[in-house]
Chain A
């Protein structure tokens, strides 16, 4: 693919999450989502927080850990085809800034949700389960690992 004025990456998935202004955009989007949920009259504050957390984690799981390949036309000869977006980030190098940011954000969100739900057990379960769904695949030990062959091809 000819990328006029682009970053010259074969597979832009490697780098776009680490590009300038990305963290800020991320936070803005999260906040917008949360404020939107808060603005719905019948949603209580704890429910709005849990929903924010669950939606956030679901998006993480789908876009970072479930879908594979790259939406751009691949000049990398299809190498990315077997990798999830998370595995493509920074060419698979662990503990980079982007990876740390994306790992920390669900945890911090979990803290906030726990706090605002007053550690209620009913809220804890969905918050914690979705957190595990996005944290475990992010561990370096799970790089390129497909548990029980799920999502292998």
Chain B
């Protein structure tokens, strides 16, 4: 038997062609060698020599512990001017036992003082307690969350909402849940910090276009189209997104959404709009920028917003078509891995939405106040430039010549104005605080946030207070003194403008005196 088997194999080998035998021998040897190999980690080479060089050159070694660094807190600290707040920051705010008119807090709709919201929150506490105990997908969903989600979606006429427990987390986790490494995001250069974090977390290629310039966006899109044509195979595998804000929280300007949406359609780019500020403010019924500009809301892939700015509650949301938004329930990191919004805040959010749905005149009122504030700030234009648009509830006052002034001087002058207004007029003003790492870090400025409850008289008093502060503190002379001779032209221009202002003021006073004499 054994002999027969061996003979069979022998015949088989003898009969085989020689190339076959060599090959088999080689493969067998290679097999033997392969089995004896040890594990070897892959050598990762992800950067080209050029990229490495730039990274190495950009790196500046710093001392391990720098005393100054330890003292320095990132961002401007309003704590130097203002003490701790007690009570609720509504129309008035109590700081160190003093009551101030509050134009520092984001409370455009004036709902912070609403007792209806308190009642709604209290009812929720009695029913559900104060916390929600877990993330949305893990015992953290209660009926008010679902109700609020439905309410927001219905309000905007869209299919679905994903509710986040924090406005910052909403947009910064929504963006990376769609855009991944290799994709391209076109973004306005002035987008807010949460969006910037979202862009960074997506690890996509970020292309910033000039603020509010859809012409520049078109140029960038055209450029991208050209690159895509060169490498069509690669272009097929990348997704393109565009991110803009409704009202920019760093400049108070409105986005030209119509043009942007058209471009996105034309170039097949998905469009995300952050309506954190504009939700509940713009449009006839507060449905945001799309309603205000008459853009079809269905053209936008998702809208993000928050209940923290106009709605005196807490939480952020992403709203859009179901097939877009539903994706976040498994891949929005802030949605999956963060405890859900406390039910009491969701309850307050529902109430706030009901209030503005039932009283659309609130929206009209806010818009009136925003416009009035804009007009009443006209008389300080000699001292401040205002970047905000008429309809924006946020007014940003930049010191004239602040572009050529040293940063610290601007800070100091603005701080003086704020302290003067605080002491003499009992109005709470604030400088917005930014992290140094922000893209396009804004210059120091005063931020006024309008709210509905301000009377026209109070609005006037704010402009007058700032004007008086500037005159009393000789702000203009300090500015002029700090402008270097290199910018003499600008300085002369400013001086002539200031002289005209003084003359107009004198005229006004003399006319007033004449009138008083007559009567």
Contacts and interface: CB of A to CB of B under 8 A. Distances in A.
A136 to B, nearest CB: 13
The B contact surface, by secondary structure, is helix
Interface string B15-57: 1110010011001101100110111111000000000000000
B512 interface: no
Nearest to A138: B34
Nearest to B232: A153
A2 to B, nearest CB: 7
Contacts of A58: none
Interface in A80-125: 81-82, 91-96, 100, 103-104, 107, 110-111, 114-115, 118-119, 121, 124
B197 to A, nearest CB: 15
Contacts of B176: 77
B12 interface: yes
Contacts of B38: 95
A103 B446 CA distance: 68
A143 B41 CA distance: 12
B254 to A, nearest CB: 34
B457 interface: no
B237 interface: yes
A95 B39 CA distance: 5
A107 B42 contact: no
Given A107-B31, A119-B20, A153-B234, A79 B42 contact: no
A152 B37 CA distance: 29
A115 B182 contact: no
A104 B31 contact: yes
A91 B237 contact: no
A73 interface: yes
A86 to B, nearest CB: 12
Q: How large is the interface on B (under 10, 10 to 19, 20 to 34, 35 or more residues)?
A: 20 to 34
Nearest to B36: A95
A94 B40 contact: yes
B282 to A, nearest CB: 35
A151 to B, nearest CB: 10
Contacts of A121: 17
A66 to B, nearest CB: 15
A93 B336 contact: no
A10 to B, nearest CB: 13
A126 interface: no
Contact of A1 (B15, B35, B330): B330
Contact of B40 (A77, A79, A93, A152): A93
B371 interface: no
B17 A95 contact: no
A153 B12 contact: no
A140 B33 CA distance: 14
B331 interface: yes
Contacts of A77: 176, 180-181, 203
B332 to A, nearest CB: 12
Contacts of B203: 77
Given A2-B137, A77-B203, A78-B180, A143 B42 contact: yes
B233 interface: yes
Contacts of B336: 2
B330 A114 contact: no
Nearest to A119: B16
A104 B181 CA distance: 35
Contacts of A143: 42
B236 interface: yes
A77 B233 CA distance: 21
Nearest to A74: B180
30 contacts: A2-B137, A73-B331, A74-B180, A77-B176, A77-B180, A78-B182, A79-B181, A81-B180, A81-B237, A82-B182, A93-B39, A93-B41, A93-B42, A94-B37, A95-B38, A95-B39, A100-B37, A103-B34, A104-B31, A104-B35, A107-B27, A110-B27, A114-B16, A114-B24, A119-B16, A119-B20, A140-B40, A153-B234, A153-B236, A153-B237
Interface of B: 12, 15-17, 20, 23-24, 27-28, 30-31, 34-35, 37-42, 137, 176, 180-182, 203, 231, 233-234, 236-237, 330-331, 336
Given A73-B330, A81-B237, 9 more contacts: A93-B39, A93-B41, A95-B34, A95-B40, A100-B37, A103-B34, A107-B27, A124-B20, A153-B231
